Amino acid sequence: MSEFKEQAKEKLQKELAEATKDGFAEPIIGYLLKRCAEDDGLSEDVCLEHKTWKKCFDYIVAQAKKLKSSGNCVAVRDEVVYEWAEDYYHMDDKAEEEKRAREQAEREKKQKEEQKKRSEEQAKKVSVPKNTAPAVEKKAEPEAPKKNRMEGQMDLFSMLGM
């Protein structure tokens, strides 16, 4: 058995063990294992670092969605799904993967910068009081006697706070 065939077999078996969608992973990865034993080219493609079962599954789902005309489901023959899986591994997408990784890294960097900027702005808002002018105390002016008040007479309204 060639070196690539053995590596492809190990990689696919490991991905099968880690697969979350076992109902789909088992038959497709089983098919890929059989095909890798027969085809050195496929074995080499499976061994590529950026090729994974999850991306293969996403590719298959995307291909199925293209077939869907209406509704939420589509029926696809097993042979077609197996072809799509092989197509994914044969597809030369390394440059595209690197571009996506760079774009993702740039997005994350921008988000961190924006987050940092917002937190700095928040810190400025908290540390700087809104009214920076010194508070001026108003002196209580003596209350002028009201004209209609008689000295010593009780006022019911002032007792009630009105």
The model's pLDDT over 12-23, given as tens digits with 9 standing for 90+, comes to 999 988 887 668
pLDDT at 35: 92
pLDDT at 104: 85
Q: Are 61 and 51 in contact (CB under 8 A)?
A: no
Q: Are 37 and 5 in contact (CB under 8 A)?
A: yes
Q: Are 47 and 4 in contact (CB under 8 A)?
A: yes
Q: How far apart are CA 150 and CA 162, in angstroms?
A: 18
Of 129, 52, 126, whose CA–CA distance to 93 is shortest?
A: 52
The model's pLDDT over 86-145, given as tens digits with 9 standing for 90+, comes to 999 988 877 777 777 788 888 898 898 888 888 888 877 776 555 555 555 666 666 655
pLDDT at 29: 92
